[in-house]
Copies of this chain bind each other. A is one copy, B any other.
Amino acid sequence: MTDQTPAVEAATTDSPALSAGQVPTSWYNIAADLPEPIPPHLHPGTKEPIVVDDLLGLFPRALAEQELSTQRWIEIPEAVRDVYASWRSTPLLRARRLEKALGTSSHIYLKYEGASPVGSHKPNSAVAQAYYNQQEGITKLTTETGAGQWGSSLAFAGALFGLDVEIWQVRASYESKPYRRHLMELYGGVVHSSPSELTEAGKAILANDPDTTGSLGMAVSEAVEVAVGDQAARYALGSVLNHVVLHQSVIGQEAIAQLEAAGEDGADIVFGCAGGGSNLGGLAFPFLRHVLSGDSSTKVVAAEPVACPSLTAGEYRYDHGDFSGMTPLLKMYTLGQDFVPDPIHAGGLRYHGMAPALSHVVHLGLADAVAIEQDAAFNAGILLARTEGLVPAPESTHALAAAFRHVSESSAEETVVIGLSGHGNLDLPAYGSFVENYPG
Protein backbone atom coordinates (compact mmCIF):
# COMPACT_ATOMS: atom_id res chain seq x y z
CA MET A 1 0.00 0.00 0.00
CA THR A 2 1.21 3.42 -0.94
CA ASP A 3 -0.21 6.88 -0.60
CA GLN A 4 1.55 8.20 -3.65
CA THR A 5 -0.42 8.51 -6.85
CA PRO A 6 0.72 5.75 -9.18
CA ALA A 7 1.77 6.81 -12.62
CA VAL A 8 -0.07 6.50 -15.89
CA GLU A 9 2.52 4.57 -17.87
CA ALA A 10 2.98 2.90 -21.22
CA ALA A 11 1.90 -0.71 -20.74
CA THR A 12 3.71 -2.04 -23.78
CA THR A 13 6.48 -0.65 -25.92
CA ASP A 14 4.87 -1.46 -29.24
CA SER A 15 1.55 0.26 -28.82
CA PRO A 16 0.47 3.04 -31.14
CA ALA A 17 3.18 5.61 -31.01
CA LEU A 18 1.65 8.85 -32.22
CA SER A 19 -0.54 10.74 -29.82
CA ALA A 20 -4.08 11.39 -30.74
CA GLY A 21 -4.32 14.86 -32.25
CA GLN A 22 -1.21 14.36 -34.37
CA VAL A 23 -2.17 14.82 -37.99
CA PRO A 24 -0.12 15.03 -41.20
CA THR A 25 0.25 18.58 -42.48
CA SER A 26 -0.02 17.71 -46.20
CA TRP A 27 -1.64 15.11 -48.38
CA TYR A 28 0.67 12.98 -50.52
CA ASN A 29 0.01 12.82 -54.28
CA ILE A 30 1.56 9.75 -55.91
CA ALA A 31 1.06 11.33 -59.37
CA ALA A 32 4.24 13.30 -58.72
CA ASP A 33 6.38 10.19 -58.41
CA LEU A 34 5.09 7.60 -60.87
CA PRO A 35 7.43 6.59 -63.72
CA GLU A 36 4.58 7.06 -66.22
CA PRO A 37 1.68 9.50 -65.74
CA ILE A 38 -1.75 8.24 -64.75
CA PRO A 39 -3.78 8.11 -68.00
CA PRO A 40 -5.99 11.21 -68.13
CA HIS A 41 -9.73 11.14 -67.60
CA LEU A 42 -11.61 11.79 -70.87
CA HIS A 43 -14.56 14.09 -71.45
CA PRO A 44 -17.65 11.89 -71.97
CA GLY A 45 -18.70 13.92 -75.03
CA THR A 46 -15.45 14.87 -76.81
CA LYS A 47 -13.34 11.97 -75.53
CA GLU A 48 -10.54 14.53 -75.04
CA PRO A 49 -8.54 14.72 -71.79
CA ILE A 50 -10.53 16.77 -69.33
CA VAL A 51 -9.36 20.10 -67.95
CA VAL A 52 -10.27 21.76 -64.67
CA ASP A 53 -13.12 23.76 -66.21
CA ASP A 54 -14.80 20.56 -67.42
CA LEU A 55 -15.24 19.47 -63.81
CA LEU A 56 -16.68 22.65 -62.34
CA GLY A 57 -20.30 21.54 -62.73
CA LEU A 58 -19.53 18.57 -60.52
CA PHE A 59 -16.91 19.83 -58.08
CA PRO A 60 -15.61 23.09 -56.60
CA ARG A 61 -12.48 24.45 -58.25
CA ALA A 62 -10.13 23.41 -55.46
CA LEU A 63 -11.14 19.76 -55.81
CA ALA A 64 -11.12 19.90 -59.62
CA GLU A 65 -7.54 21.19 -59.43
CA GLN A 66 -6.56 18.46 -57.00
CA GLU A 67 -8.05 15.89 -59.37
CA LEU A 68 -5.60 16.89 -62.10
CA SER A 69 -2.66 17.92 -59.92
CA THR A 70 0.79 16.40 -60.12
CA GLN A 71 2.10 18.37 -57.13
CA ARG A 72 3.67 15.98 -54.61
CA TRP A 73 2.48 17.57 -51.36
CA ILE A 74 -0.78 19.46 -51.02
CA GLU A 75 -1.22 21.32 -47.75
CA ILE A 76 -4.16 20.28 -45.61
CA PRO A 77 -6.21 23.37 -44.66
CA GLU A 78 -6.13 24.14 -40.96
CA ALA A 79 -9.93 23.81 -40.64
CA VAL A 80 -9.70 20.28 -42.04
CA ARG A 81 -6.77 19.34 -39.80
CA ASP A 82 -8.70 20.57 -36.77
CA VAL A 83 -11.56 18.22 -37.61
CA TYR A 84 -9.16 15.35 -38.33
CA ALA A 85 -7.69 15.92 -34.87
CA SER A 86 -10.99 14.79 -33.31
CA TRP A 87 -9.95 11.22 -34.09
CA ARG A 88 -6.58 11.24 -35.82
CA SER A 89 -4.02 9.89 -35.60
CA THR A 90 -5.88 6.57 -35.73
CA PRO A 91 -4.32 3.67 -33.83
CA LEU A 92 -1.62 1.46 -35.26
CA LEU A 93 -1.99 -1.65 -33.13
CA ARG A 94 0.54 -4.44 -32.76
CA ALA A 95 -1.67 -7.53 -32.79
CA ARG A 96 0.28 -9.90 -30.54
CA ARG A 97 -2.66 -12.11 -29.63
CA LEU A 98 -3.54 -12.47 -33.30
CA GLU A 99 0.08 -13.33 -34.15
CA LYS A 100 0.00 -16.05 -31.50
CA ALA A 101 -3.27 -17.48 -32.84
CA LEU A 102 -1.81 -17.56 -36.36
CA GLY A 103 1.43 -19.11 -35.11
CA THR A 104 3.51 -16.56 -36.97
CA SER A 105 6.73 -14.87 -35.96
CA SER A 106 5.95 -11.96 -38.25
CA HIS A 107 4.94 -8.68 -36.62
CA ILE A 108 1.38 -7.81 -37.52
CA TYR A 109 0.21 -4.20 -37.23
CA LEU A 110 -3.36 -3.06 -37.73
CA LYS A 111 -3.98 0.48 -38.97
CA TYR A 112 -7.48 1.02 -37.63
CA GLU A 113 -9.69 3.57 -39.37
CA GLY A 114 -12.74 2.28 -37.50
CA ALA A 115 -11.72 4.70 -34.74
CA SER A 116 -13.24 7.64 -36.64
CA PRO A 117 -16.59 8.98 -35.37
CA VAL A 118 -18.38 7.53 -38.37
CA GLY A 119 -16.46 4.28 -38.13
CA SER A 120 -14.41 4.21 -41.34
CA HIS A 121 -11.72 5.97 -43.34
CA LYS A 122 -14.34 7.79 -45.42
CA PRO A 123 -14.48 11.02 -43.35
CA ASN A 124 -10.85 11.73 -44.34
CA SER A 125 -12.16 12.78 -47.72
CA ALA A 126 -15.69 13.78 -46.73
CA VAL A 127 -14.41 16.49 -44.38
CA ALA A 128 -12.06 17.85 -47.03
CA GLN A 129 -14.75 17.84 -49.71
CA ALA A 130 -17.31 19.54 -47.47
CA TYR A 131 -14.76 22.18 -46.52
CA TYR A 132 -13.82 23.12 -50.09
CA ASN A 133 -17.46 23.20 -51.20
CA GLN A 134 -18.41 25.44 -48.31
CA GLN A 135 -15.45 27.74 -49.07
CA GLU A 136 -16.76 28.21 -52.61
CA GLY A 137 -20.32 29.02 -51.52
CA ILE A 138 -21.94 25.68 -52.27
CA THR A 139 -24.87 24.89 -49.94
CA LYS A 140 -25.77 21.32 -50.88
CA LEU A 141 -23.97 18.10 -51.73
CA THR A 142 -25.38 15.04 -53.44
CA THR A 143 -23.81 11.63 -53.36
CA GLU A 144 -24.24 7.88 -53.69
CA THR A 145 -23.60 5.24 -51.05
CA GLY A 146 -23.61 1.47 -50.86
CA ALA A 147 -23.48 0.06 -47.36
CA GLY A 148 -23.58 3.65 -46.09
CA GLN A 149 -20.03 4.26 -44.91
CA TRP A 150 -19.57 7.09 -47.39
CA GLY A 151 -23.07 8.49 -47.06
CA SER A 152 -22.79 8.74 -43.29
CA SER A 153 -19.34 10.32 -43.57
CA LEU A 154 -20.57 13.00 -45.95
CA ALA A 155 -23.66 13.63 -43.81
CA PHE A 156 -21.34 14.10 -40.81
CA ALA A 157 -19.04 16.44 -42.73
CA GLY A 158 -22.04 18.36 -44.09
CA ALA A 159 -23.33 18.88 -40.56
CA LEU A 160 -19.98 20.38 -39.51
CA PHE A 161 -19.77 22.79 -42.44
CA GLY A 162 -23.45 23.70 -42.70
CA LEU A 163 -24.21 21.90 -45.99
CA ASP A 164 -27.35 19.97 -46.89
CA VAL A 165 -26.52 16.41 -47.91
CA GLU A 166 -28.77 14.26 -50.12
CA ILE A 167 -27.81 10.62 -50.54
CA TRP A 168 -28.88 7.91 -52.99
CA GLN A 169 -28.30 4.54 -51.36
CA VAL A 170 -28.15 1.29 -53.36
CA ARG A 171 -31.52 -0.38 -52.84
CA ALA A 172 -30.07 -3.73 -51.67
CA SER A 173 -28.29 -1.94 -48.80
CA TYR A 174 -31.10 0.54 -48.15
CA GLU A 175 -33.41 -2.37 -47.45
CA SER A 176 -31.01 -4.70 -45.62
CA LYS A 177 -28.98 -2.19 -43.55
CA PRO A 178 -31.42 0.15 -41.77
CA TYR A 179 -28.86 1.11 -39.11
CA ARG A 180 -26.77 3.02 -41.65
CA ARG A 181 -29.78 4.97 -42.84
CA HIS A 182 -30.53 5.88 -39.24
CA LEU A 183 -26.92 7.05 -38.92
CA MET A 184 -27.11 9.23 -42.03
CA GLU A 185 -30.36 10.74 -40.77
CA LEU A 186 -28.90 11.25 -37.30
CA TYR A 187 -26.26 13.46 -38.94
CA GLY A 188 -29.03 15.33 -40.78
CA GLY A 189 -28.69 13.65 -44.18
CA VAL A 190 -31.65 12.93 -46.49
CA VAL A 191 -31.56 9.38 -47.85
CA HIS A 192 -33.29 7.86 -50.90
CA SER A 193 -33.34 4.28 -52.12
CA SER A 194 -31.66 4.03 -55.54
CA PRO A 195 -32.80 3.75 -58.24
CA SER A 196 -35.49 6.27 -57.35
CA GLU A 197 -38.33 8.01 -59.13
CA LEU A 198 -36.70 11.35 -58.25
CA THR A 199 -34.37 11.46 -61.26
CA GLU A 200 -34.60 10.81 -64.98
CA ALA A 201 -31.76 8.31 -64.66
CA GLY A 202 -33.56 6.44 -61.90
CA LYS A 203 -36.87 6.44 -63.74
CA ALA A 204 -35.24 5.05 -66.87
CA ILE A 205 -33.53 2.28 -64.93
CA LEU A 206 -36.74 1.35 -63.11
CA ALA A 207 -38.75 1.37 -66.32
CA ASN A 208 -36.35 -1.17 -67.73
CA ASP A 209 -35.92 -3.29 -64.58
CA PRO A 210 -38.36 -2.44 -61.77
CA ASP A 211 -36.92 -5.12 -59.47
CA THR A 212 -33.25 -4.17 -59.76
CA THR A 213 -31.35 -4.32 -56.46
CA GLY A 214 -29.44 -1.25 -57.59
CA SER A 215 -25.74 -0.55 -57.97
CA LEU A 216 -23.26 2.15 -57.04
CA GLY A 217 -23.06 3.10 -60.72
CA MET A 218 -26.82 3.73 -60.78
CA ALA A 219 -26.72 5.76 -57.57
CA VAL A 220 -23.86 7.87 -58.97
CA SER A 221 -25.97 8.68 -62.04
CA GLU A 222 -28.83 9.89 -59.86
CA ALA A 223 -26.65 12.01 -57.58
CA VAL A 224 -24.76 13.54 -60.51
CA GLU A 225 -28.01 14.40 -62.32
CA VAL A 226 -29.36 16.28 -59.30
CA ALA A 227 -26.10 18.15 -58.67
CA VAL A 228 -25.69 19.21 -62.28
CA GLY A 229 -29.24 20.59 -62.29
CA ASP A 230 -28.76 22.78 -59.22
CA GLN A 231 -26.43 25.82 -59.26
CA ALA A 232 -25.98 25.74 -55.50
CA ALA A 233 -25.25 22.00 -55.39
CA ARG A 234 -22.24 19.91 -56.24
CA TYR A 235 -21.59 16.20 -56.33
CA ALA A 236 -19.24 14.38 -53.94
CA LEU A 237 -17.70 11.00 -54.68
CA GLY A 238 -16.50 8.69 -51.93
CA SER A 239 -13.72 6.87 -53.74
CA VAL A 240 -12.19 6.22 -57.18
CA LEU A 241 -11.10 9.74 -58.15
CA ASN A 242 -7.60 11.10 -57.64
CA HIS A 243 -8.58 13.80 -55.16
CA VAL A 244 -10.34 11.25 -52.95
CA VAL A 245 -7.34 8.92 -52.90
CA LEU A 246 -5.19 11.99 -52.18
CA HIS A 247 -7.17 12.86 -49.05
CA GLN A 248 -6.81 9.31 -47.75
CA SER A 249 -3.02 9.58 -47.80
CA VAL A 250 -3.11 10.65 -44.17
CA ILE A 251 -3.54 6.95 -43.34
CA GLY A 252 -0.28 5.76 -44.82
CA GLN A 253 1.71 8.78 -43.65
CA GLU A 254 0.65 8.13 -40.09
CA ALA A 255 1.33 4.41 -40.37
CA ILE A 256 4.89 5.06 -41.54
CA ALA A 257 5.56 7.43 -38.64
CA GLN A 258 3.95 5.01 -36.18
CA LEU A 259 5.99 2.04 -37.43
CA GLU A 260 9.15 4.06 -36.99
CA ALA A 261 8.16 5.07 -33.47
CA ALA A 262 7.44 1.40 -32.70
CA GLY A 263 11.00 0.55 -33.71
CA GLU A 264 10.24 -1.11 -37.04
CA ASP A 265 12.35 -0.53 -40.12
CA GLY A 266 9.39 0.18 -42.40
CA ALA A 267 6.94 -2.49 -43.61
CA ASP A 268 7.74 -5.56 -45.68
CA ILE A 269 4.19 -5.91 -46.93
CA VAL A 270 0.98 -3.89 -46.73
CA PHE A 271 -2.53 -5.32 -47.21
CA GLY A 272 -5.69 -3.36 -47.76
CA CYS A 273 -9.13 -4.01 -49.13
CA ALA A 274 -10.03 -2.41 -52.43
CA GLY A 275 -13.52 -1.48 -53.62
CA GLY A 276 -13.16 1.89 -55.30
CA GLY A 277 -9.53 2.04 -54.22
CA SER A 278 -9.32 5.01 -51.87
CA ASN A 279 -8.67 2.99 -48.71
CA LEU A 280 -5.83 0.98 -50.20
CA GLY A 281 -4.41 3.95 -52.08
CA GLY A 282 -4.50 6.07 -48.94
CA LEU A 283 -2.66 3.46 -46.95
CA ALA A 284 -0.25 2.19 -49.59
CA PHE A 285 0.77 5.17 -51.71
CA PRO A 286 2.89 6.82 -48.98
CA PHE A 287 4.73 3.48 -48.66
CA LEU A 288 5.14 3.32 -52.46
CA ARG A 289 6.74 6.76 -52.41
CA HIS A 290 9.71 5.17 -50.66
CA VAL A 291 9.67 2.24 -53.09
CA LEU A 292 9.66 4.60 -56.06
CA SER A 293 12.57 6.55 -54.61
CA GLY A 294 14.52 3.32 -54.08
CA ASP A 295 14.53 3.61 -50.29
CA SER A 296 12.39 0.56 -49.57
CA SER A 297 10.94 -2.57 -51.13
CA THR A 298 7.54 -2.67 -49.42
CA LYS A 299 5.10 -4.94 -51.24
CA VAL A 300 1.47 -3.86 -51.59
CA VAL A 301 -1.47 -6.24 -51.91
CA ALA A 302 -5.01 -5.19 -52.82
CA ALA A 303 -7.66 -7.62 -51.54
CA GLU A 304 -10.99 -7.64 -53.35
CA PRO A 305 -14.02 -9.95 -53.20
CA VAL A 306 -14.43 -12.83 -55.62
CA ALA A 307 -17.97 -11.45 -56.08
CA CYS A 308 -16.69 -8.13 -57.50
CA PRO A 309 -13.20 -8.81 -58.92
CA SER A 310 -12.37 -5.71 -60.93
CA LEU A 311 -8.58 -5.92 -60.44
CA THR A 312 -8.24 -9.68 -60.79
CA ALA A 313 -10.84 -10.38 -63.50
CA GLY A 314 -11.74 -7.00 -65.00
CA GLU A 315 -10.39 -5.33 -68.13
CA TYR A 316 -7.98 -2.38 -67.99
CA ARG A 317 -9.68 0.12 -70.29
CA TYR A 318 -11.63 3.40 -70.37
CA ASP A 319 -15.08 3.13 -68.80
CA HIS A 320 -17.63 5.41 -67.22
CA GLY A 321 -17.78 5.85 -63.47
CA ASP A 322 -21.56 5.54 -63.46
CA PHE A 323 -24.31 3.42 -64.97
CA SER A 324 -25.78 6.04 -67.29
CA GLY A 325 -22.54 7.39 -68.75
CA MET A 326 -22.67 10.90 -67.30
CA THR A 327 -19.24 10.94 -65.68
CA PRO A 328 -15.87 11.35 -67.39
CA LEU A 329 -14.32 8.22 -68.88
CA LEU A 330 -11.73 6.76 -66.52
CA LYS A 331 -8.88 4.41 -67.43
CA MET A 332 -9.34 1.64 -64.92
CA TYR A 333 -9.79 -2.04 -64.24
CA THR A 334 -13.53 -2.49 -64.73
CA LEU A 335 -16.25 -5.11 -64.83
CA GLY A 336 -18.35 -2.78 -67.00
CA GLN A 337 -20.48 0.20 -66.04
CA ASP A 338 -23.65 -1.98 -65.98
CA PHE A 339 -22.20 -4.55 -63.53
CA VAL A 340 -24.59 -5.45 -60.69
CA PRO A 341 -23.02 -7.52 -57.92
CA ASP A 342 -24.90 -10.50 -56.54
CA PRO A 343 -26.90 -9.15 -53.57
CA ILE A 344 -25.96 -12.29 -51.62
CA HIS A 345 -22.49 -10.78 -51.29
CA ALA A 346 -22.47 -9.12 -47.85
CA GLY A 347 -18.94 -7.84 -47.84
CA GLY A 348 -19.13 -4.43 -49.46
CA LEU A 349 -16.55 -3.47 -52.11
CA ARG A 350 -19.23 -3.63 -54.79
CA TYR A 351 -18.10 -0.97 -57.29
CA HIS A 352 -17.67 -2.01 -60.92
CA GLY A 353 -14.39 -0.17 -61.43
CA MET A 354 -11.21 0.74 -59.56
CA ALA A 355 -9.48 4.05 -58.90
CA PRO A 356 -7.45 5.08 -61.98
CA ALA A 357 -4.44 5.80 -59.77
CA LEU A 358 -4.59 2.36 -58.14
CA SER A 359 -5.37 0.66 -61.47
CA HIS A 360 -2.29 2.32 -62.97
CA VAL A 361 -0.14 1.27 -60.00
CA VAL A 362 -1.31 -2.34 -60.37
CA HIS A 363 -0.79 -2.18 -64.13
CA LEU A 364 2.79 -0.98 -63.56
CA GLY A 365 3.44 -3.94 -61.23
CA LEU A 366 3.82 -1.77 -58.12
CA ALA A 367 0.99 -3.60 -56.34
CA ASP A 368 -0.53 -7.08 -56.50
CA ALA A 369 -4.19 -8.01 -56.28
CA VAL A 370 -5.90 -11.08 -54.86
CA ALA A 371 -9.57 -12.10 -54.81
CA ILE A 372 -10.97 -13.44 -51.53
CA GLU A 373 -13.95 -15.76 -51.03
CA GLN A 374 -16.66 -14.47 -48.72
CA ASP A 375 -16.34 -17.22 -46.10
CA ALA A 376 -12.57 -16.78 -45.82
CA ALA A 377 -13.10 -13.07 -45.32
CA PHE A 378 -15.66 -13.38 -42.55
CA ASN A 379 -13.73 -16.16 -40.81
CA ALA A 380 -10.72 -13.84 -40.70
CA GLY A 381 -12.93 -11.19 -39.13
CA ILE A 382 -14.15 -13.62 -36.47
CA LEU A 383 -10.58 -14.57 -35.58
CA LEU A 384 -9.68 -10.90 -35.22
CA ALA A 385 -12.67 -10.28 -32.95
CA ARG A 386 -11.82 -13.25 -30.73
CA THR A 387 -8.16 -12.28 -30.37
CA GLU A 388 -8.00 -8.49 -30.47
CA GLY A 389 -11.61 -7.60 -29.77
CA LEU A 390 -12.02 -5.43 -32.86
CA VAL A 391 -15.03 -6.11 -35.08
CA PRO A 392 -13.82 -5.27 -38.58
CA ALA A 393 -16.02 -4.04 -41.39
CA PRO A 394 -16.83 -6.83 -43.85
CA GLU A 395 -14.80 -4.86 -46.38
CA SER A 396 -11.76 -4.93 -44.11
CA THR A 397 -11.98 -8.68 -43.56
CA HIS A 398 -10.78 -9.20 -47.14
CA ALA A 399 -7.47 -7.60 -46.24
CA LEU A 400 -7.24 -9.72 -43.11
CA ALA A 401 -7.89 -12.95 -45.03
CA ALA A 402 -5.28 -12.08 -47.65
CA ALA A 403 -2.73 -11.28 -44.95
CA PHE A 404 -3.49 -14.43 -42.94
CA ARG A 405 -3.00 -16.55 -46.06
CA HIS A 406 0.30 -14.80 -46.74
CA VAL A 407 1.76 -15.33 -43.27
CA SER A 408 0.60 -18.95 -43.18
CA GLU A 409 2.38 -19.62 -46.48
CA SER A 410 5.55 -17.71 -45.59
CA SER A 411 8.25 -18.65 -43.14
CA ALA A 412 9.83 -15.20 -43.33
CA GLU A 413 9.74 -12.97 -40.26
CA GLU A 414 8.15 -9.89 -41.74
CA THR A 415 6.61 -6.61 -40.68
CA VAL A 416 3.05 -6.81 -41.96
CA VAL A 417 0.63 -3.87 -42.01
CA ILE A 418 -3.06 -4.57 -42.48
CA GLY A 419 -5.38 -1.68 -43.17
CA LEU A 420 -8.70 -1.96 -41.39
CA SER A 421 -10.90 0.48 -43.25
CA GLY A 422 -13.64 0.49 -40.64
CA HIS A 423 -15.56 -1.25 -37.88
CA GLY A 424 -18.34 -3.74 -38.51
CA ASN A 425 -20.75 -2.77 -35.75
CA LEU A 426 -23.48 -1.99 -38.24
CA ASP A 427 -22.82 -5.19 -40.16
CA LEU A 428 -23.20 -7.63 -37.28
CA PRO A 429 -26.10 -9.59 -38.80
CA ALA A 430 -23.87 -10.35 -41.80
CA TYR A 431 -21.53 -12.18 -39.41
CA GLY A 432 -24.34 -14.39 -38.10
CA SER A 433 -24.20 -17.41 -40.38
CA PHE A 434 -20.40 -17.36 -40.50
CA VAL A 435 -20.22 -17.39 -36.69
CA GLU A 436 -22.52 -20.44 -36.61
CA ASN A 437 -20.24 -22.34 -38.97
CA TYR A 438 -16.93 -20.97 -37.71
CA PRO A 439 -14.37 -23.78 -37.62
CA GLY A 440 -12.23 -22.23 -34.85
Contacts and interface: CB of A to CB of B under 8 A. Distances in A.
Q: What is the copy number of this chain in the assembly?
A: 2
A19 B16 contact: yes
A178 B427 CA distance: 11
Contacts of A71: 1
Interface string A65-94: 000000111010010011011111101010
B117 A115 contact: no
Given A179-B428, A187-B385, A428-B182, A26 B10 contact: no
Contacts of A93: 86
Contact of A117 (B22, B187, B391): B391
A216 B68 CA distance: 59
Interface residues of A, number: 74
A6 B26 contact: yes
B123 A391 contact: no
B23 A11 contact: yes
Contact of A10 (B8, B22, B183, B257): B22
Q: Which of A3, A8, A23, A387 is most buried by chain B, counting CB atoms within 10 A of its CB?
A: A8
A355 interface: no
Given A8-B22, A20-B15, A91-B20, A182 B429 contact: yes
Interface string A85-105: 111110101000100000000
A10 B382 CA distance: 35
Contacts of A382: 186
B22 A11 contact: yes
Contact of A72 (B3, B11, B26): B3
27 contacts: A1-B71, A1-B73, A2-B72, A6-B24, A8-B23, A8-B253, A9-B23, A9-B24, A9-B25, A10-B21, A10-B22, A11-B21, A11-B81, A11-B82, A16-B19, A19-B19, A86-B93, A87-B91, A117-B390, A117-B391, A156-B385, A159-B387, A179-B428, A179-B429, A183-B425, A185-B432, A185-B435
